Structure 1
Amino acid sequence: MATEILMPALSPTMEEGTLAKWLVKEGDTVASGDLLAEIETDKATMEFEAVDEGVIGKILVPEGTEGVKVNTAIAVLLEEGESADALPEAKSGAPAAEGPAAAEGAPAGAGEAAASPAPAASAAPAAPVAASGERIFASPLARRIAAQKGLDLSQIKGSGPHGRIVKADVEAATASAPAAAAKPAASAPPAATGTTGAPAPAAAASGPSADQVAKIYADRDYEEVPLDGMRKTIAARLTEAKQSIPHFYLRRDIRLDALLTFRSQLNKQLEGRGVKLSVNDFIIKACANALQAVPAANAVWAGDRVFKLKPSDVAVAVAIEGGLFTPVLRDADMKSLSALSAEMKDLAARARERKLAPHEYQGGSFAISNLGMFGIDNFDAVINPPHAAILAVGAGKKQPVVGDDGALTVATVMSVTLSVDHRVIDGALGAELLQAIVDNLENPMVMLA
C-alpha cells in the first residue's frame, strides 16, 4: 500500500521548515536509514532519513519550498510491486501564497494558509494525539498497522529519529494486548532552547504594521527585506523575553591584569600543542565554576516552578549572518581550559555554517554574550528563556584605579553586567553569583584547582 512521507519534526519545537534539497528522485528504492532530503529549520540544515523501505512513487513538495508545515505530506512511498501510475493526482504540500505577497516574493506564511494535500492511495490514519493533546510521531505505515491491530500508539516507545514510532516498533508490540488508555502527561516545562529555538508566532505583535510603516516612508527610497525563519523567531522570542521576564541588572568592574599575565604564560606552554586560550575561554570557565559555587543560582524558570540544575551547562552567544546561535558547553566546570577552547571553536565554526544539531544549542541555565571584541564598553543583555541569567561582557581597557593602599595606578578593567530573572534569582543571590565570577577572573589560578 502506498504511504505518505511526512515533513518531519527535527526538533521538539519545530513547526515548519524549508525542504532545501531532495537526495532521492522518483523511482528510487530506499531502505530504512537512507537519506531522503535536507531540511532547513530556523537554526540549521539537517538530513532526513527514511523510516520505512519502498520506492519513491511521487514527490509532492519540490526542493526549495519554504514554510512546509510539520506532518505535511512531501512524497509518496510505494511498496514492492506497486506502480506510481495507480496514484491519484496529489496536490503539493507546499504552502500557497496568493495576491501581491506571492508576486513580490514574500516569505512563506505571508499569504494564504497552506494548501491541504490530497490523500495518497490507502492513506494511513490521521496523526494521533495523546490524551494530553500532544502529537504522537509515527510513520504512516506504523499508524496503519497499529489501527489494524487495535494498539494504542501512546503506549509504544519509538525507536526512529527523535523517538518516532516505526513499523518495527508496532510489530514488536503484543497484538493481543488491549489498547491502554493514554495517561495524562505530567506537566512539563517549556523546552530549553537557544535564542531562536522556540516556535515563533506569525508576527511579533508590537509596533506599527507593515502597511502603516510603508505609508510613513512612502516618499522615501528604501529596500524591503523579508524576514527569514531565524529573524522571525529572534523577534518573537526576544519580545516575549522582555515582556514576560522581570529583568534586573547587576554591574561590576573586573581587573584583568592577573588573568592576562596568567593567560600569556599558559599560551607559551601550550604553543607546541596548537592551543591558544582566549579571554572568553576564561570567562566561560569562571561562570561554570561560579554556578557550582552558588548552586541555588544554577536554575531555570519552568512555567510554574523552578528547576535547579546540577551540571554547569553554559551557553555562549555566537553572531552569524542574519542572527545568532547560543551553542551550549555542557559540564563546562568539569572541562579544562584547553578542552573548553577547542569545543567552543568547533561549535562557533559549525554555528556559522548552520550545522549545529538541536541538542547543541538547546539547554543550559546561564548564557554569556561578549561584545568586548567589538569595542563595546558595557551593555545589558536580554535573558534567553528559560535561563535565569546572562552575563554581558564589555571590552577590557586600561584606566586609572585606586589600589588597596590608596595609591593611584593603571589597570586593565573589564565591565560586566549580569541580567537576572527575579522570579528565579533574588538580588542578594545574584550578587553572590556575580561575586563568584569576579573572584574567579581576578584570581585565575583558582580555576585550575
Structure 2
Amino acid sequence: MAEKIEMVALSPTMEAGVIVKWSKKVGDEIKSGDVLCEVETDKATMEYESMDEGTLLSIIVDEGAEVPVGQLIAIIGEKDEDVSAIIEEAKKAPVKAEEKPAAKASEEKAPAKAVKQTSGSRPTSRSGKIKASPLARKMAEEAGVPLNSVDGTGPNGRIIKRDIEKAIADGPATQVASSMREQVIQVSKKRKIIAQRLAESKYGAPHYYLKLSINMENIIAARKQINAKAKEKLSMNAFIVKFVAEALRRHPQVNASWQGDTIVQFGQVDIGLAVAQPDGLITPVVRNCESKGIAAIDQDMKVLIDKALNNRLQPQEYTNATFTVSNLGSFGIEEFTAIINPPGAAILAIGKSEKTPIVTANDQIVIKPMMKVCLSCDHRVIDGAVGATFLKDLKDMMEDPIRVLL
C-alpha cells in the first residue's frame, strides 16, 4: 500500500522547508534510513531520512520549492502501484515556491528590447552564469577580462566578440571601474528566522550593557605552556568558555531565563558560541561546561563548529543555550555589543586582545595584552549589581586563574 511522505519539522521552530536537492529519483528502491532529500530549515540544511520502505513512485515537490510542514512531498509504495488518485489530490494543495524579488520579476516580464543594460548589471542564465558567446568567453579568459565588467551588445545583452575587443582596447581602468554589479539576493529561510528572533529579543527584552577590560597576560602564558606539551592545540575560545562557565556556576542568577510568570535558573551551564555562516549566524551549544575541563570543551567545540560550517548541526546541537559567547576578536574588532540569544538572559561579546599601556598601582606605565568585553543583560532577569558582580568575578578569575581552584 502506498505511503504518503509528508514534510516533517526537522527543527523545533520549523514551520516550512525548502527542498534543496532530491537524493533519490522516481523508481529507486528505498530502505528505512535512506536519505530522500536535503531540506533547508530555519537553521540549517538537513537530510530527510525515510521511515518507510518500498519504491519511490512519485516526487510531488520540485527542488527549490518551499513546503509547509505536513504537506505531501513524495509517495513510496510497491513497484508499478497506481498512485494517480493521490497525485491528483496533491495538486489541490499548491506548493508555495520561493518568491522572486519584485524588481527581478518585473525585469523578466519586460520585453528584451525594453531592458537597458547598464554597467554593473549583467544578464545571466537560469544557472546564474553570465550570458556570453563561447568565442567571447574564451577571448575574455585569455585576456584576463572579467565578464562581469563587460557590457554586452548582442541579443538580450549577450556578450559577443566585439564587446571583448572593446574591453581590451579600453584598458584596465575601464574594467576596474565597472567591476561591481548590482545584485538582488533572495533572503533564505534561516536569515528570515534570525531577523525575526533577534528583533523579538532586542525589542522584547530590555537590554543593558556592562563593559570592562581584562588583562590576558596569565591566560596567554598558561595556554602557551599547555599547548607546548599538548598533542592538539587548545583554542583561546575554549579557555574563555571554561572561565565563563565557572563564573556562571558561582552566579546562577545570570545563567537564567525569563519565562513570563517565572524566572528559570538552569541546573547546568550550556554555552552557545556564535559561528558565522554565509547566510547568517548559528550558535552550536557545548553542554555541561561547568563539569568539563578545557580540553573536553575544546574537543566539543571543534566537532560542533565543523558541523556548523557544513550545515550539518542537529537541532539539539544548536538550541537552548543558557548563555552565549560571541567572539569577533579574530576579525580585529576591539569592542562591540551583542543581542541576547533566547532563552538565555545574557550574552558576552569578546573583542581582540591587544597590547595596551596601563597605569599600575605605583603609577608606573606598563604594556599589557588587554581584551575588552561587553556583557548584554536582560534587565527583567539580571539586576545591574548582579551583572556587574558576575563580570568582575570573571575578570578576576581570568587575570588570576588560581582563583578557579578556590
Task: Specify if TM > 0.5.
Answer: yes
Between Structure 1 and Structure 2, whose CA radius of gyration is higher?
Answer: 2
How far is 1:7 from its partner? 0.6
How far is 1:346 from its partner? 2.0
Go from structure 1 to structure 2 and tell me whether the alpha carbon gap of 1:383 and 1:87 turns closer, same or farther (over 3 Å shift): closer
How far is 1:259 from its partner? 1.3
How far is 1:58 from its partner? 1.5
Other-structure match for 2:133:
none
Other-structure match for 2:117:
none
Q: Secondary structure at the match of 1:390?
A: strand
Q: What does 1:161-310 correspond to in 2, within 5 Å?
A: 222-270=182-230, 273=231, 275-310=232-267
How far is 1:244 from its partner? 0.7
Q: What does 1:412-427 correspond to in 2, within 5 Å?
A: 412-427=369-384
How far is 1:32 from its partner? 3.4
Over the aligned positions, Cα root-mean-square deviation in angstroms equals: 2.6
- In the TM superposition, what whole-angstrom CA distance separates every residue of 1:71-115 from its partner, at most 9, and x where no partner exists? 111012335783346655342753157898497399xxxxxxxxx
Distance 1:438 1:322 in 2: 34
Q: What does 1:18-417 correspond to in 2, within 5 Å?
A: 18-62=18-62, 64-78=63-77, 82-84=81-83, 89=88, 90-91=90-91, 94-96=95-97, 101=102, 104=105, 222-270=182-230, 273=231, 275-417=232-374
How far is 1:229 from its partner? 1.5
For these two proteins, the number of residue pairs brought into alignment is: 332
- In the TM superposition, what whole-angstrom CA distance separates every residue of 1:2-32 from its partner, at most 9, and x where no partner exists? 3421011111110111112223332334343
Residue identity opposite 1:74 in structure 2? I
Other-structure match for 2:140:
none
Residue identity opposite 2:59 in structure 1? I
Q: Secondary structure at the match of 2:261?
A: coil
Go from structure 1 to structure 2 and tell me whether the alpha carbon gap of 1:105 and 1:72 turns closer, same or farther (over 3 Å shift): farther
Go from structure 1 to structure 2 and tell me whether the alpha carbon gap of 1:93 and 1:357 turns closer, same or farther (over 3 Å shift): farther
- Give the gaps of 5 or more residues in structure 2: 108-180
Go from structure 1 to structure 2 and tell me whether the alpha carbon gap of 1:87 and 1:94 turns closer, same or farther (over 3 Å shift): closer
Residue identity opposite 2:95 in structure 1? A
Distance 2:44 2:98 in 1: 24
Alignment pair present for 1:17 and 2:17: yes
Other-structure match for 1:164:
none
Go from structure 1 to structure 2 and tell me whether the alpha carbon gap of 1:343 and 1:105 turns closer, same or farther (over 3 Å shift): farther
Go from structure 1 to structure 2 and tell me whether the alpha carbon gap of 1:404 and 1:277 turns closer, same or farther (over 3 Å shift): farther
How far is 1:53 from its partner? 3.3
Q: Name the stretch that deviates more: 407-416 or 94-103.
A: 94-103
Q: Secondary structure at the match of 2:21?
A: strand
Residue identity opposite 2:49 in structure 1? E
Q: Secondary structure at the match of 1:419?
A: strand
Q: Conserved in 2, the CA contact under 8 Å of 1:61 and 1:93?
A: no
Distance 1:259 1:429 in 2: 25
How far is 1:257 from its partner? 1.0
- In the TM superposition, what whole-angstrom CA distance separates every residue of 1:148-180 from its partner, at most 9, and x where no partner exists? xxxxxxxxxxxxxxxxxxxxxxxxxxxxxxxxx
Distance 2:33 2:59 in 1: 18
Q: Secondary structure at the match of 1:324?
A: strand
Distance 1:86 1:416 in 2: 62
Q: Name the stretch that deviates more: 306-315 or 35-44.
A: 35-44
Go from structure 1 to structure 2 and tell me whether the alpha carbon gap of 1:72 and 1:439 turns closer, same or farther (over 3 Å shift): same
Q: Conserved in 2, the CA contact under 8 Å of 1:14 and 1:41?
A: yes
Distance 1:337 1:443 in 2: 16
Residue identity opposite 2:339 in structure 1? V
Counterpart pick for 2:391 among 427, 431, 434: 434
- In the TM superposition, what whole-angstrom CA distance separates every residue of 1:315-357 from its partner, at most 9, and x where no partner exists? 1111121211111110112212122122212211221111111
Distance 1:358 1:307 in 2: 21
How far is 1:398 from its partner? 1.5
Query: 1 or 2, which has the higher helix percentage?
Result: 2
How far is 1:313 from its partner? 0.7
Residue identity opposite 1:285 in structure 2? K
How far is 1:441 from its partner? 1.0
Residue identity opposite 2:391 in structure 1? L
Q: Conserved in 1, the CA contact under 8 Å of 2:238 and 2:294?
A: yes
Q: Name the stretch that deviates more: 345-354 or 419-428.
A: 345-354
How far is 1:56 from its partner? 2.4
Distance 1:361 1:330 in 2: 10
How far is 1:440 from its partner? 2.0
Q: Secondary structure at the match of 1:381?
A: coil
Q: Conserved in 2, the CA contact under 8 Å of 1:380 and 1:419?
A: yes
Q: Conserved in 1, the CA contact under 8 Å of 2:66 and 2:98?
A: no
Q: Conserved in 1, the CA contact under 8 Å of 2:16 and 2:66?
A: yes
Distance 1:295 1:100 in 2: 47
- Give the gaps of 5 or more residues in structure 1: 107-220
Q: Secondary structure at the match of 2:239?
A: helix
Go from structure 1 to structure 2 and tell me whether the alpha carbon gap of 1:34 and 1:431 turns closer, same or farther (over 3 Å shift): same
TM-score, with normalisation over the residues of structure 1?
0.68
Q: Conserved in 2, the CA contact under 8 Å of 1:74 and 1:93?
A: no
